[in-house]
Structure 1
Amino acid sequence: MANSVITLQNADIYQKDKLVLSDVNFSIEEGEFVYLIGKTGSGKSSLLKTLYADLWLEKGTGTVAGFQLEKMRHKEVPYLRRKIGIIFQDFQLLTDRNVHQNLQFFMGAMGWKDKAEIEDRIAEVLELVGLPDVLQKMPHQLSGGEQQRIAIARALLNHPEILLADEPTGNLDPEKSIEILKLFFKINQVSKTAVLMATHGLDLIERYPKRTLYCEGGKVRDLHQA
């Protein structure tokens, strides 16, 4: 399993004191694209939060980007998050700063120091998401789809091993949802970054099938579409 970027074995996922998923077993390889589906409340978000150590792994073993979740200490969490990219449904851009300042702020938090390297990387990720000319725009001046593209660009800045996307198309119309999904495919192919994408969009999965993990009844089933 040397090439797995995520591995969970016999993992129990808790939300506070409530067991939401039990005996979870799966791995995701470097460069793989995987959907995560299930009804609201089925445990998708709790699973993702466990993978980026917002929730602790209470039982079982888990490895994400080389970090052992069951042995994680609070002080190690920022270092784990430097190796993964997290994308939310609601974009979570800083509304009082323009796009350039949003991305600069994130890179500073991730430990980047060299100004030229910061500017080069910002230009690279904006080109990759198809928005090279929005540096001076404020988030409110962008459409929902554009804001999500900037959120994806931000998640890519630190060359993550995997992107964890929690309903990234949830606030977008069907056409924009397809554009964002295709962008994830492009990133997956161009940068070989693995993607685990939680979605309600079963129509997207039918049109663009990939391996799928399904949360239902407190379990995670691997549907192995490809």
Structure 2
Amino acid sequence: MNRSVISLQNAFIYQREQLVLSDVNFSIKNGEFVYLIGRTGSGKSSLLQTLYADLWLEKGTGIVGGFELHALKRSQIPYLRRNIGIVFQDFQLLSDRNIDKNLRFYLKAMGLTDKNEMNERILEVLNLVNLPHILEKMPHQLSGGEQQRVGIARALLNKPDIILADEPTGNLDPEMSVDILKLFLDINKKSNTAVLMATHDFELIERYPHRTLYCDKGQLRDLSDSL
């Protein structure tokens, strides 16, 4: 079913008291891959933070994964995030434990308690990112690209409707950036998981074109509308 996993209408995005994006209107369908571009400070991260309820939607309406952002209660935030996979630029792995315990910690936080189910899900997502043999390794023993793959695996643990990726290639060299993008595209194609990927890497966009949303001067434009 080609339903919207994200929909914002007449939304105003704030970072504290500062208005960063005005009158935002867009939707992302199930299985779509979409870039989010714009200069540093243009509102990309603030928009993503609003979508996973790290920032409140102060004005307008928004629906993400079936949850109404404009009517969301704090107690609902964990349930919203169980429908979303979030990938950060700086990996955000727990440095004091191995990869298996990193992923297990996340599953427990989501409320999963069955050990066999945990084992199966961890192996499944590590296979999806082509890292099936790193369970016992510590984060510092992995390359930056491998750490980001683990970050993507973590985002897939809850079988999300959509992955929100905030500059996921920002700390990687160009060759590894291409590998990570190809991984996102592969996951998007195979699992029909929608992806919204913020990036400033215009070379990636030129090489692998997809629908692109552009933050500029306090507005969000869909560049495909002008083609």
**TM-score (norm. length: structure 2):** 0.98
Identity of aligned residues (%): 70
Name the counterpart of 1:53. Answer: 53
Taking the aligned partners of 2:159 and 2:103, their CA distance within structure 1 comes to: 14
Report the count of equivalent residues.
Answer: 226
Deviations 1:33-83 (A, max 9, x none): 000000000000000000000000010000000000000011110000011
Q: Which amino acid aligns with 2:144?
A: G
Moved >2 Å (runs of 4+): none
Note closer, same or farther for the CA distance 1:93–1:61 as it changes in structure 2 (3 Å cut): same
1:2, distance to aligned residue in structure 2 (A):
7.2
Q: Which amino acid aligns with 1:203?
A: E
Taking the aligned partners of 1:122 and 1:199, their CA distance within structure 2 comes to: 27
Query: What is the root-mean-square deviation in Å for CA atoms of aligned residues?
Result: 1.3
Taking the aligned partners of 2:105 and 2:55, their CA distance within structure 1 comes to: 25
Q: Where do 1:1-226 residues align within 5 Å?
A: 3-224=3-224
Deviations 1:87-134 (A, max 9, x none): 000000000000000000000000111111110110010000000000
- Give SS of 1:224's match: helix
Where in structure 2 are there 5+ consecutive unaligned residues? Answer: none
**TM-score (norm. length: structure 1):** 0.98
- Give SS of 1:195's match: strand
Taking the aligned partners of 2:224 and 2:6, their CA distance within structure 1 comes to: 16
Where in structure 1 are there 5+ consecutive unaligned residues? Answer: none
